[in-house]
Chain A
Amino acid sequence: MPKQVTVRLTEVAKSFGETRALKKCNFEACSGEVHAIVGENGSGKSTMAKIMSGVLNADAGEALILNERILTPLDAKRIGLATIFQEVLVADEASVLDNLYVGCDSFFSMRTSTEERAREAQALLDRLVGHPMDLKATVGDLPLSVKQWIVIARAILRRPKVLILDESSAALDLDATLRLHEEIDRLRATGSTVIIVTHRIAELVRIADRATVLRDGVTVGQLQKHEITEANLLALMTPADRRLSEAANTSGRASQGDRTIVLKASDMIAQRGGAPFNFTLEAGSIVGVAGLDGQGQDAFLRAVARILAPFGGDVHIRSEDGNEMAAVHSLLDAARLGIVYVSGDRKREGIFPQQSIFENLAIGIYRRNLGPCGVIRKSELRKTFAREVDRFRVKMGSSQNRITSLSGGNQQKILIGRAFANDPRVIILNDPARGVDLGTKRDLYRELRAFADRGGAVIYLSSEIEEFLGFADRVDVFHGGSVFRSLRAHEIEEEAILAAMFGQSKAEIVEFTTERKVH
């Protein structure tokens, strides 16, 4: 089959307000190939996928799919492009079958009969999910993993000429990922173009024919199949200055001397069905928490901060005088005993978008700055505010401006300042560096290390493995709802963490990544 260019992006740029998500993006994919788009978080991969599928339109440059311009998802559907988005987009109220065939019809008339659809859908879902499915079931009652399959099946049922998968395997386990890969192979064999957007290197090494690498909104290189190796990819993904700076940024580990335990979680069951596990946090240490999405690490952090009650087990923290361990039973306990939680999901769990920068930082400390009759002592708050703004070098205009006037990184600094203002003893950060620039990250690492050196303790969840390197004193990797492996300082390296995230030893992951290259 002669290869034709099916997707072509020329000099595409896209901005969201201040943020330039894509600066200069050139891309080309052919029929009958699996083409990967790789890059770190925030490098513009998802924006690129959204432009290709017509959800977003480019500010500059040209995006052609099968020689046509795509302006809306309807255009995309018409010419045979299907996209599986990062979010699991399903209608909870409707049946599985309705969810699978949404948008398949023209405005009033149906293209195929319901019976035909049911047969086709049943065959595909049985193959994908691995167990028989009831097509009449209401989607809202189904677990997340099945919803994910519904979204994937919806796209495959369109028999797309171009299929885009935007981080779609995130919620799938290894076995399921392999089934998805089989399906991708099948589509490639029929001459379709499959574009996978991912930051899971192992996955793309296994399946991609070509890979395009994005860095800070610019396409920096294209690799042919034989060139797709972890080393090549990492070299392209990481800018040279950054590698240097990260080495320089190694802020030193905790001193080996005093190792009193400040926080202890025993027999924790963070996620339904997870095995119970223990967790300890020593004074002066920074513990990294990693895992693929939905493996219980997020629930664990919330349980320790008591934002959610765990399914089992309890959390104890050393009391202020250091002699006994006090149980943490509620959010109020956590706050009283000096545990603070910082979310990386700024929009939903962080900022108050209608409030000023000042109020956003001060909201957590009103209670401890009350004068007579409960009147808030503004002058104290201003001092704290100035201290935290200074500490994190927040770039801002007036403190009375709305917080949304700040860039994402500066918003995050304010939120972390809110946590510091509470004089905590344990800081729990849930992926705080998501969508944050390098300078902010560096400030954050430095301050967290300083905090630990003063005797505090940090739990740091990140979805980017690189963040732990040279920073964490220990990394606990979650898999299947509990800690799968706990890596000591000298063991912390990219492959080891990645392997543990997949629930495998390091040797196995190397095999996984090379399996395809052998063929």
Chain B
Amino acid sequence: MSLRKSLSVLAQDRSLFVPAALFAALIIGVLLLSPRLFTVNGLAGAILVATPLILTTLALTPIVMAGRGSVDLSVGPLLGFINVTLISWLVGNGITSPFAVIAWVVCLGAAYQLMQALIIIYVRIAPIIVTLASFLILSGLNLMVMSRPEGVAPDWMLSWGAGTSIFSPVLLLLVAAFAIWAIMRRTSFYSHLRMTGADERMAYTSGVQVDLIRIVAHVLGGVFVGLAALSYTALISSGDPTQGSTYTLQAVTALVLGGANLAGGRGGAVGSTLGAINMFLISYLLSTFSFGTVSGFVTQMAFGLILVGSLLVNVFLIRRQAAN
């Protein structure tokens, strides 16, 4: 029943068609070229590696859905900032209790996004400027907190990064994030969010508290960044001041691959997750070929090409629909 329902959702929401088709194609590719992914070890590793990207994309989703072209460029460095402060401020000072760590990552992410939202809304600066400034400031700040990769994750977290079991705490993080999303989806906040993104004037004149919706969208995004930072820390088991920043562009790519509209109003957890998984599968698939030292560049190029391709397919699909 639930499968049937989700299939009908796919059929109705045409923005999910392209990501789903790409996903299926990539799975077939992996099956043919490198079926090792579908072993326990393979899947466990995949979940471990893909989770930070999935969660970062999920963090962008509500912010982008709220419209005004507010793609949050700061998510990557923010993830890095949470990671380095966790390692050098908390663990460095002997604070390692899981409760404190989780509270720190979630609250820091939420607080930062709250501040950013307030600047965007009440100082009335274009979101792209604010988040670009954020990106630069945080990138520098991260290097001030920690000048090079160092430190060790709390002991209880070390086993998370082993990647030997599918049902690891990292998967739990992912499930927790989806649970938050699922609950949020059932509130009227979600429909208000979509309406605000689709047509802000309409939402405002209909009595939607547009500003408040934006703030909550950012805070929700911040919570997801916190969870992403936690999974990222588990993945690298230490602190790294620079690598986090690369997540910004990857997450934006994943978001678009997942069928979200950067202008707002369209998007969702399913699409974003599919987009992020597709990104992972693409790089996984490419790693089975040996490009030698240039493999990193080839992956980047492939991301770009597939992004353009999927957007083109989308355009043609929608045109065809409109013509019918």
Interface residues of A (CB under 8 A from B): 53, 55, 72-74, 76-78, 83, 85, 87, 89-94, 98-99, 101-103, 105-110, 136, 141, 154
Contact = CB atoms under 8 A, between A and B. Distances in A.
Contact of A107 (B188, B195, B201, B266): B188
B195 A98 contact: yes
B194 A94 contact: yes
B155 to A, nearest CB: 39
A73 B198 contact: no
Interface size class of B (residues with CB under 8 A): 20 to 34
Contacts of A72: 207
The 5 closest A-B pairs by CB, nearest first: A77-B207, A91-B198, A105-B188, A103-B206, A89-B202
B89 interface: no
Contacts of B187: 108-110
A430 to B, nearest CB: 24
B95 to A, nearest CB: 33
A107 B209 contact: yes
B191 interface: yes
B207 A103 contact: yes
A103 B12 contact: no
B203 to A, nearest CB: 6
B316 interface: no
A53 B12 contact: no
A55 B212 contact: no
A387 to B, nearest CB: 42
Contacts of A77: 206-207
B150 interface: no
A91 B265 contact: yes
Contacts of B205: 53, 55, 73, 83, 85, 89
Contacts of A76: 207
Nearest to A50: B205
Contacts of B198: 91-94
A517 B127 CA distance: 56
Contacts of A105: 188, 191-192
A91 B195 contact: yes
A92 B202 CA distance: 11
B261 interface: yes
B265 A98 contact: no
A98 B202 CA distance: 12
Nearest to B12: A136
Nearest to A53: B205
A102 B192 CA distance: 7
A53 B197 CA distance: 22
Given A91-B194, A91-B265, 16 more contacts: A72-B207, A73-B207, A77-B206, A85-B205, A89-B201, A89-B202, A93-B197, A93-B265, A94-B191, A98-B191, A102-B195, A102-B203, A107-B188, A110-B188, A141-B322, A154-B206
Given A89-B201, A91-B198, A108-B188, A102 B208 contact: yes
B188 A93 contact: no
A89 B201 CA distance: 7
Nearest to A84: B205
Contacts of B201: 87, 89
Contacts of B192: 102-103, 105, 107
Is chain B's binding surface mostly helix, strand, loop or mixed?
Answer: helix
Interface string B46-88: 0000000000000000000000000000000000000000000
A53 B207 CA distance: 10
A55 B204 CA distance: 8
A400 to B, nearest CB: 28
A239 B184 CA distance: 57
B192 to A, nearest CB: 7
B23 interface: no
Contacts of A55: 204-205
A98 B265 CA distance: 12
A76 B204 CA distance: 11
A91 B261 contact: no
B191 A102 contact: yes
B121 to A, nearest CB: 15
Contacts of A83: 205
A101 B192 CA distance: 10
Interface string B168-196: 00000000000000000001110110110
Nearest to B324: A141
Interface in B265-296: 265-266
B194 A108 contact: no
A465 B253 CA distance: 54
Given A74-B207, A106-B188, A90 B202 contact: yes
Which one of B189, B201, B205, B322 has the greatest number of beta carbons of chain A within 10 Å? Answer: B205
Of the candidates A53, A76, A93, the one having the most CB atoms from chain B within 10 angstroms of its own CB is: A93
Nearest to A151: B202
Contacts of A136: 12
A143 to B, nearest CB: 12
A93 B261 contact: yes
B199 A92 contact: yes
B209 A74 contact: yes
Nearest to B209: A74
Nearest to B264: A93
Name, among A76, A94, A103, the residue most crowded by chain B CB atoms within 10 Å (CB to CB): A103
27 contacts: A53-B205, A55-B204, A55-B205, A76-B207, A77-B206, A77-B207, A78-B207, A89-B201, A89-B205, A90-B199, A91-B194, A91-B199, A92-B265, A93-B197, A93-B261, A98-B191, A98-B195, A99-B195, A101-B191, A102-B192, A103-B208, A105-B188, A106-B188, A107-B188, A108-B188, A110-B188, A141-B322
Contacts of B12: 136
Contacts of B207: 72-74, 76-78, 103
Nearest to B208: A103
Contacts of B202: 89-91, 102
Contacts of A107: 188-189, 192, 209, 212
A365 B192 CA distance: 49
Contacts of B195: 91, 94, 98-99, 102-103
Nearest to A97: B191
A45 B70 CA distance: 35
Nearest to B15: A93
A78 B209 CA distance: 12
A89 B199 contact: yes
